[in-house]
Amino acid sequence: MHPTFRGHLVAMIAELLGTIMFLFFSYAAAQIGNEKADTLRPVLEETGLSLLQISYISAVFGVSLGVNVWIFYRVSGGMFNPAVSLALWIAGAFDWVRLICVVPMQFGGAIAAAGLVSLLLPGPLQAENALASGATFVQGLFLETILTAQLVMTVLMLAVEKSRTSFIAPLAIGLALFIAHLIGINYTGTSVNPARTLGPAVINGNFVSYIWIFFVGPGLGAILAAGLYHLLKAMGYETANPGQDDDGLETYRLHISRISPRHRQWESHQEKLRIDMEE
């Protein structure tokens, strides 16, 4: 099997499984948090959620994303979100072939996760995105755009940009989704992920007339974040606050070399060995 094809295949499998795992727990939390609703209508349209419900659902979405990004980060990047994939493609993290390979897997994983929750938990699936009563299309669209941009910037600056803090990128990404839900649940249900919206809509067979908001908004947020990322890179943002990845070891070595003759002799010996090996 050609290495490139194998790489795309592995990424597709990882994105499918990762999206299922991430959204299964997330949809289940939404189901539990909304368990008092008695019809297929999204609970947000009339009642809204309590702060306790919002906190619970937000926490599970954030933790579930963080855990599964950590699991699949070194396999496929742990995207699980077409908006994130779009932003990574714009940022140059991978080519268009990888983009068209993983996005269908993310949508398929979301539908599978919604189906599993609907099958395993009693009652109708209550995890759909919906605008709150009184919220306009424009408000919903721009809220989704801003929340998605925050999430995507976290991915770009902590996961795509390699640094000493990259190893905790999954934690920060989960926290970004957590705060997005804290703000958005009572107004849009917080999509920030077209796949997350499509899953429950397909399983319930309920496509609201404004479902496009949950596709266009995250798409715009991804483009906005990727554009800002490119701007920061073009301006050489690293020079604005230098030394952020300095681990202090170079300063320590310099200090030791100044106070320890034996250390200077050791470094001189190491340098001579390096030159001999090169020759």
* pLDDT tens across the length of the chain (279 residues): 788 889 999 999 999 999 999 999 999 999 999 875 444 344 444 456 788 999 999 999 999 999 999 999 999 999 999 999 999 999 999 999 999 999 999 999 999 999 999 999 998 999 999 999 889 999 999 999 999 999 999 999 999 988 887 889 999 999 999 999 999 999 999 999 999 999 999 999 999 999 999 999 999 999 999 999 999 999 988 887 777 776 555 555 555 555 555 656 666 666 676 666 665
- Alpha carbons 263 and 148: distance in angstroms, whole number: 52
Q: For domain 3-239, which architecture applies?
A: Up-down Bundle (1.20)
Residue with tokens 């190491």: 270
For 47, the token pair is: 């009642």
Place of tokens 């920061």: 232
Q: 3-class DSSP state for residue 46? A: coil
Measure CA 126 to chain center.
23
**CA-CA-CA-CA dihedral for 243, 248, 249, 252, to nearest 10:** 130
**Rounded to whole angstroms, what are the CA distances from 225 to 78, 84, 250, 254?**
18, 10, 34, 40
Alpha carbons within 13 angstroms on the beta-carbon side of residue 123 total: 16
Q: What is the CA radius of gyration of the chain?
A: 23
Map tokens 């050489």 to a residue: 236
Could you tell me the two tokens for 53?
Answer: 């419900």
Cβ-proximal residues to 54 (8 Å cutoff; 6+ apart), any chain? 181, 182, 185, 186
**Cα distances (Å, whole numbers) of residue 179 to 6, 100, 274:** 36, 29, 51
Cα 68 versus chain centre, distance: 10
Boundaries of every domain in the chain: 3-239, 249-278
* Cβ 187 vs Cβ 140: under 8 Å: yes
Structure tokens at 70: 């950590």
CA nearest to 153, candidates 139, 173, 167: 173
Contact between residue 44 and residue 131 where contact means Cβ atoms under 8 Å apart: yes
Please write the tens of the pLDDT for every residue from 29-61. Answer: 999 998 754 443 444 444 567 889 999 999 999
Nearest CA-CA partner of 36 in 26, 47, 23, 21? 47
Residue with tokens 């340098």: 271
- 121, 28 Cβ separation under 8 angstroms: yes
